[in-house]
Structure 1
Amino acid sequence: MSEPALKERVGFAGLGLMGQGMARNILKKGWPLTVLAHRSRTAVEALVAEGATEAKTARALAEASDVVVLCVTGSPEVSALVEGPDGLAATGKPIVIIDCSTSDPSQTLRLAESLRERGITLIDAPLSRTPKDAAAGTLDVMVGGDDAVVARVLPILEAFAGRVMPTGPTGTGHTMKLLNNFLAMGYAALYAEALALGAKAGLTPKVFDSVIRGGRMDGPFYQTFMTYVLERDRNAHQFALRNALKDMSYLAGFASAASFANPMGAAVRNSFALAVGAGRGEDYVPMLSDIVAEMNGVSLVPKG
């Protein structure tokens, strides 16, 4: 797709595992970029050294930008950045906010309506894939919003995305993201339980993998999960168990609001609730396999 001759000024808040790669691609591909520090200054300082500008507050970020990308943990963090006393909305400037976080769809709709009254447009553009894909510019992006607004920001999204998939009006991107994560976390819970049950019966993860890999139940998510199990690579899939529980809790709330019975979703959520309740919330998703194994008196760690 052809890019506009005059590139809009982009703001970015949420320079975590995903956000720093996304922001770097926006900058590398020619957009004037302003960034906001949150938990760590490392990514901010690196981006400033590469040509970005730093804003000290969310309000200043909005004042310096035409479009602001958010990539934070979830709805509470988005609301704080947007509606806080020195937040993005404090300027009253007609910016476009792109929420790439995994947020609660009901809160996305509430916030979009509130911002619309102040001339600010919110669209949801949650992500799929890994920090490695964020750095490579090959993320999957599900985007919900008005067609004209999506068309306007599409070149920015394409700076860090391999695929951009419109899902419908605002809120549908976050809904689709929850369903996507439900499938992913459901597989993670299944893999963890199957591996532990296999170990209980004397089947090692290596034997388990020799059967699954290359068959119909193989796939990219399985392979990154098993990279940790087999190779003990902590960074194979950098998504914290506490965030998995947060997403499955959003799914439970969404199902409840729709008066929808979701027993599978409840079971998946409980798998992660057990792990987080055991104090393992900062571990990554593939490590659920070790937690389930330990609870059942077995180990998946290769001997020797």
Structure 2
Amino acid sequence: MTAAKEKIGFVGTGLMGHGMAKNIVEKGYPLTVTAHRNRAPVEDLVARGATEAASLADLARGSSIVFLCLTGSPEVAAAVAALKPGLARGTVVVDCSTSDPTVTLRLAAELAEIGVDFADAPLSRTPKEAWEGTLDCMVGATPEIFARIQPVIATWAAKIVHIGGIGDGHKMKLLNNFLSLGYAALYSEALALSRKVGIPVAEFDKVIRGGRMDCGFYQTFMGYALEGNREAHRFTIGNAYKDMRYVEAMANAATMATPMASAVKNSFALAMATGGSGPADFVPHLSDFVARANGVG
């Protein structure tokens, strides 16, 4: 089947998925979506030309490639189970979630038994880049499946790296998130200590911004810490905590000590345990939880 004839199903039109799906349909691919908790993104996508399916099985029946953009492995496994009755041989399921690589490999094996291919294509950056079609994507797939799905991924990603085989995309995504969430934990502790010793956030930022320690993640993080923009980086503390648990699980399976990863995970566990589990509690807000734990008002 040529890329031009692919029919795309998209499951998970949340913060990231809405923009991704918008780019797929606007760049010429037939798109089928289904609603879950929030109908607004689905109604927007239908207005742009997408079709709404009544169920995941119906979505699968009308799709040659199905993208999943969900919270984590439990949700992905549940979605795959619901899709299965409608999946035809030759369909490709692409998991763009940040998932546990061991679950990825298990699902791929289960789908292979019914002639369905699987790829993992997790992404990096924020909902802003999802809307603009400039996300980063790291793909785990066979060369043949990568060649088939790459043109569709290119509708919403500007940087696409074929990491290796099935599961390798999710492994790389966990490494990527370990680094970014490690930055968040470092920034939060440094900002709390800065305030504790009498250096205002604005003065802290004057030294770091534009220097060797500056980076894109620092700038979005400081969009909240310095400017008060609560939506500067719309990735929840709950998802960050989940991702760091997956990092630890991957390291445990590899028999590797992870003092740094465990410390980062515990920073987010602290926030989760002290009220940071809401849908509007985003990663830059970690700085508040660390500050309060250290008596910084």
Using the size of structure 1 for normalisation, the TM-score is: 0.95
Can you list the C-alpha shifts for 1:203-244, whole angstroms capped at 9, x where unaligned?
A: 011011000011110000000000111111011000000000
8 A Cα contact 2:224 2:232, kept in partner: yes
RMSD across aligned positions (CA): 0.9
2 CA distance for matches of 1:222 and 1:59? 42
Give the share of equivalent positions with the same residue, in percent: 57
Separation in structure 2 between the aligned mates of residue 258 and residue 30 of structure 1, nearest angstrom: 43
Q: State how far apart, in whole Å, the 2-side matches of 1:31 and 1:5 are.
A: 9
Q: Structure 1 residues 260, 53: CA separation in 2 closer, same or farther (over 3 Å shift)?
A: same
Matched residues in 2 for 1:234 and 1:207: separation?
21
The residue identity in structure 2 corresponding to 1:7 is: K
- Specify the code of the residue in structure 1 equivalent to 2:282: Y
Q: 2:123 aligns with which of 109, 120, 127?
A: 127
Give the one of 165, 175, 200 matched to 2:171: 175
Equivalent in the alignment of 1:68: 66
Deviations 1:232-257 (A, max 9, x none): 10110000000000000001111111
Which position in structure 1 is the counterpart of 2:246?
A: 250
1:168-197 Cα deviation digits (max 9, x unpaired): 000000000000000000000000000000
- Aligned partner of 2:287: which letter? S
- Measured after TM superposition, the shift of residue 5 of structure 1 is 7.0
| C-alpha distance in structure 2 between counterparts of 1:281 and 1:190, whole Å | 20
In 2: Cα distance, 1:263 partner to 1:138 partner: 34
Q: Is the 8 A contact 2:122 2:170 kept in 1?
A: yes
* Amino acid paired to 2:83: L
Q: Distance in 2 between matches of 1:42 and 1:70?
A: 18
Could you tell me how far apart the structure 2 residues matched to 1:124 and 1:221 are? 24
Preserved contact between residue 111 and residue 118 of structure 2 (Cα < 8 Å):
yes
Counterpart for residue 99 of structure 1:
95
Question: Counterpart amino acid of 2:251?
Answer: A
The reply on whether 1:202 has 2:186 as its aligned counterpart is no
- How far 1:6 moved relative to its partner? 3.2
The separation in 1 between residues aligned to 2:44 and 2:86, in whole angstroms, is: 28
- Mapped to 2, the partners of 1:5 and 1:239 lie a distance apart of 31
Tell me which moved more, 274-283 or 151-160: 274-283
Which secondary structure does the structure 1 equivalent of 2:226 belong to? Answer: helix
- Indicate the residue corresponding to 1:116 in structure 2: 112
Q: Whole-Å Cα distance in 1 between the matches of residues 4 and 296 of structure 2?
A: 60
Instruction: Look up the match of 1:234.
Output: 230
Deviation of 1:7 after TM superposition, in Å, equals 2.9
Aligned residue pairs total: 293
Write the distance in 2 (CA, Å) between the matches of 1:5 and 1:70.
18
SS for the counterpart of 1:249 is: helix
How far apart, in 2, do the equivalents of 1:5 and 1:186 lie?
Answer: 38
Q: For residues 246 and 51 of structure 2, what CA distance do their matches in structure 1 show?
A: 34
Q: Is the 8 A contact 1:123 1:145 kept in 2?
A: yes
Q: Distance in 1 between matches of 2:149 and 2:3?
A: 14
Q: What does the per-residue CA deviation read over 1:273-299, in whole Å, with 9 as the maximum and x for residues that have no partner?
A: 010011212210000001111111113
Letter in 2 for 1:63: R
Counterpart CA distance in 2 for 1:260 and 1:230 is 37
Ranges of 4+ aligned residues in structure 1 off by more than 4 Å: none
Equivalent position of 1:292 in the other structure: 290
Name the CA distance, whole Å, in 1 between partners of 2:296 and 2:275. Answer: 19
Tell me how far apart the structure 2 counterparts of residues 125 and 38 of structure 1 sit (CA, whole Å). Answer: 22
Per-residue Cα deviation, 1:142-186 (whole angstroms, up to 9, x for no partner): 000000111011110000001100000000000000000000000
Q: Do the aligned partners of 2:57 and 2:87 also contact (CA within 8 Å) in 1?
A: no
Of 158, 163, 174, which aligns to 1:162? 158
Displacement of 1:92 after TM fit?
A: 4.4
Segments of 5+ residues of structure 1 without an aligned counterpart are 300-304
Q: Is the 1:92–1:119 contact (alpha carbons within 8 Å) kept by the matching residues of 2?
A: no
| SS in structure 2 at match of 1:165 | strand
Give the secondary-structure state (helix, strand or coil) at the position aligned to 2:211: coil
The answer to whether the 8 A contact 2:220-2:233 is kept is yes
Distance in 2 between residues matched to 1:91 and 1:297, nearest whole Å: 55
Q: Which residue, 50, 59, 78 being the options, matches 1:52?
A: 50
Gaps of 5+ in 2: none
CA distance in 2 between partners of 1:26 and 1:212 (Å): 38
Asked whether 1:23 is paired with 2:21, we answer: yes
Conserved 8 A contact 2:4-2:29: no
